[in-house]
Copies of this chain bind each other. A is one copy, B any other.
Amino acid sequence: MTRSAVAAAVEAVLFVAEKPVSRAELARTIGAGAKAVGEALGELEEWYRGTGLRLQHEGDDWQIVTAPEMAPHVATYLGADRLRLSSAALETLAVVAYRQPVTRAEVESIRGVNCDQTIYTLMSRRLIAELGRREAPGSPFEYGTTWEFLECFGLASLDALPTVLSPEGVRSEDERVPSP
């Protein structure tokens, strides 16, 4: 019932790391191959099922976090505040989360309203961030969600975003948006 030696080493390193660690850095640190590390991460993910911990990742950066179901206990201990967002801010966040990387003009085209205020609100809460400039006329900023977003919404990764059915019952992922 023991985890593999690689999984144990990965767990120890992720435990002391105070920020997400890439698979490449994990491999370098513990002197294992990237493939073995990948398997170890899968193993850890499996082992954390039903415990107080879970593995969170964005792209190839990994971190151990507390399981979302434990949030009330952890929040009590830390005295953490509840996140509150207006429905306008949630709409903008939804566009950014599901459509990233996305420009302000694209968000506004989808929502049909000016989004300056909600974008600033989300940025000051560190839920979204400027990713860089798009190579397009005017070089607009592209926005995407952050690590804090995953944490605040208890998502193990962007793949865990709730799947929402469009009005017809078509999976929304199949919809194409008209370009703004």
Contacts and interface: CB of A to CB of B under 8 A. Distances in A.
Interface of A: 1-3, 7-13, 15-19, 21, 29-30, 47, 49-53, 64, 66-67, 69-70, 73-74, 76-81, 84-89, 112-114, 116-117, 121, 124-126, 148
B73 A29 contact: yes
A67 B81 CA distance: 31
Contacts of A13: 52, 70, 73-74, 77
Nearest to A16: B74
Contact of A50 (B8, B9, B21, B70): B8
A74 to B, nearest CB: 5
B50 A1 contact: yes
